[in-house]
């Protein structure tokens, strides 16, 4: 019976790390499921390997889980060494963002392919991982991300509002969102637009230009809003327009956040848009087709309600509880004798 797990994920406090945040939220859910969790957050260095191994062996875990890569591990190969000398404990690796990783990082993963199971968070990463390491294909499991935005019931306000949520930087669909707003504003004043996001240091000039353009379109802009304010803004909108250049995927946090609030989803599709996500979407391949669809939805509230139901159904698969339960399934499979 699965009782105890040890989780390797380095910490670089006071600096932030998205993988560490993910690991801590997941550990909380493991505890709620009744598991004893040993979180090993110290950076893995050669000098510290024996100490960490001692802690793991004293905890006598049923599973050793590593969240990789993370900010604390950096470019070090010591975590790879630790995973290979941890003894007979079944080893499960969660591999984050494999597709965009540097080729040297991808090459280093060869030292971790002995894991009993490898978890990736999206089909794009799975596809690229299996191309690099075909022999792991039967041990790779896709467990999607969960939204960091706590869901709220969808309660759209009296004004038909189209919302964007994401980073204010190039390549995130903002240009298409602005173009759609221009086209809609030329046809009707009954649709309002709202953008929620964060300005990033590397794209500060782009962000300022976006804010100036948004003002000319009488667009509401929320910059750096709290998770609570984001949830309120999403759940009170009529529809989310998220036009990703490479298509909607479940790796997009904005898609998951909107679905978690049951917000109708208007987006694009691409090669890694899963059938489940495609079924939840209102699809528009261009800002012009999105504008046409939005204007039509003004007179077709039933279609909007149907899109809400599909979005809400999709979002239920991406709660932290459901993610933790899928991890437990992977753990049990990793502990099963070979051939079972």
Instruction: State residue 220's pLDDT score.
Output: 94
Which residues is 252 bridged to in the sheet? Answer: none
Is 151 within the bounds of a domain? no
Same domain, 62 and 97: yes
Instruction: State residue 338's pLDDT score.
Output: 58
Q: Name which of 196-210, 244-258, 275-289, 294-308 the model is least confident about.
A: 196-210
Q: Is the previous residue joined to 92 through a cis bond, with omega within 30 degrees of 0?
A: no
In contact, 90 and 116? CB cutoff 8 Å: yes
Same domain, 252 and 287: yes
Task: Give me the CATH number covering residue 71.
Answer: 3.40.50.2000
| Residue 8 to residue 110: CA distance in whole angstroms | 18
**pLDDT tens string 209-264:** 999 999 999 999 999 899 899 999 999 999 999 999 889 988 888 999 999 999 99
Same domain, 93 and 166: no
Residue 120 has pLDDT above 90, yes or no: yes
Is 155 within the bounds of a domain? no
Same domain, 130 and 197: no
| Residue 114 to residue 70: CA distance in whole angstroms | 20
Mean pLDDT taken over the chain: 91
Same domain, 40 and 137: yes
Is 96 within the bounds of a domain? yes
Same domain, 103 and 229: no
Closest CA to 227 of 126, 149, 328: 149
**pLDDT tens string 179-197:** 999 999 999 999 999 999 9
Residue 47 has pLDDT above 90, yes or no: no
In contact, 130 and 136? CB cutoff 8 Å: yes
Same domain, 58 and 135: yes
Is 85 within the bounds of a domain? yes
Angle at 14 between CA 8 and CA 18, to 5 degrees: 50
Same domain, 171 and 245: yes
Backbone CA torsion sign across 253, 259, 264, 266: positive
Instruction: State residue 19's pLDDT score.
Output: 84
Same domain, 36 and 134: yes
| Residue 7 to residue 92: CA distance in whole angstroms | 10
Same domain, 169 and 281: yes
Is 340 within the bounds of a domain? no
For residue 98, give both structure tokens: 């494999």
In the β-sheet with 91-95, what is the strand arrangement from edge to edge?
36-40, 4-8, 63-68, 91-95, 117-120, 140-142
Domain span at 302:
160-318
Is 99 within the bounds of a domain? yes
Same domain, 173 and 311: yes
Residue 199 has pLDDT above 90, yes or no: no
Give the count of domains, the chain: 2
Instruction: State residue 68's pLDDT score.
Output: 92
Is 164 within the bounds of a domain? yes
Mean pLDDT of all residues in 126-135: 96
Same domain, 69 and 136: yes
Instruction: State residue 331's pLDDT score.
Output: 97
Is 154 within the bounds of a domain? no
């Amino acid at each position: 019976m699965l009782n105890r797990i040890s989780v390797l994920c380095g910490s670089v406090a006071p600096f932030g790390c998205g993988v560490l945040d993910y690991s801590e939220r997941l550990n909380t859910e493991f505890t709620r499921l009744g598991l004893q969790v040993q979180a090993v957050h110290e950076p893995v260095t050669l000098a510290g390997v024996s100490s960490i191994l001692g802690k793991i062996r004293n905890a006598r875990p049923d599973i050793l889980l590593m969240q990789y890569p993370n900010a604390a591990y950096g470019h070090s190969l010591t975590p790879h060494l630790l995973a290979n000398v941890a003894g007979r404990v079944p080893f499960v690796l969660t591999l984050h963002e494999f597709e965009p990783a540097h080729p040297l990082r991808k090459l280093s993963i060869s030292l971790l392919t002995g894991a009993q199971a490898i978890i990736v968070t999206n089909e794009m990463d799975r596809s690229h991982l299996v191309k690099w390491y075909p022999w792991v294909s039967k041990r790779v499991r896709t467990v999607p991300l969960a939204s960091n935005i706590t869901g709220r019931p969808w309660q759209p306000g009296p004004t038909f509002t189209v919302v964007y949520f994401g980073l204010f930087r190039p390549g995130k669909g903002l240009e298409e969102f602005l173009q759609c707003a221009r086209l809609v504003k030329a046809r009707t004043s009954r649709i309002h637009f709202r953008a929620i996001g964060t300005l990033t240091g590397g794209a500060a000039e782009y962000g300022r230009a976006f804010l100036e353009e948004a003002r000319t379109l009488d667009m509401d802009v929320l910059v750096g809003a709290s998770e609570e304010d984001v949830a309120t803004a999403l759940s009170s909108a009529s529809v989310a327009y998220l036009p990703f250049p490479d298509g909607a995927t479940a790796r997009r946090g904005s898609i998951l956040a909107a679905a978690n609030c049951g917000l109708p989803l208007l987006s694009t599709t691409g090669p890694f848009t899963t059938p489940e996500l495609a079924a939840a979407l209102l699809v528009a391949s261009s800002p012009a087709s999105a504008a046409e669809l939005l204007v039509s939805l003004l007179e077709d509230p039933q279609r909007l309600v149907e899109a809400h139901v599909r979005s809400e159904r999709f979002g239920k698969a991406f709660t932290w509880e459901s993610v933790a339960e899928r991890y437990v399934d992977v753990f049990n499979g990793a502990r099963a004798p070979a051939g079972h």
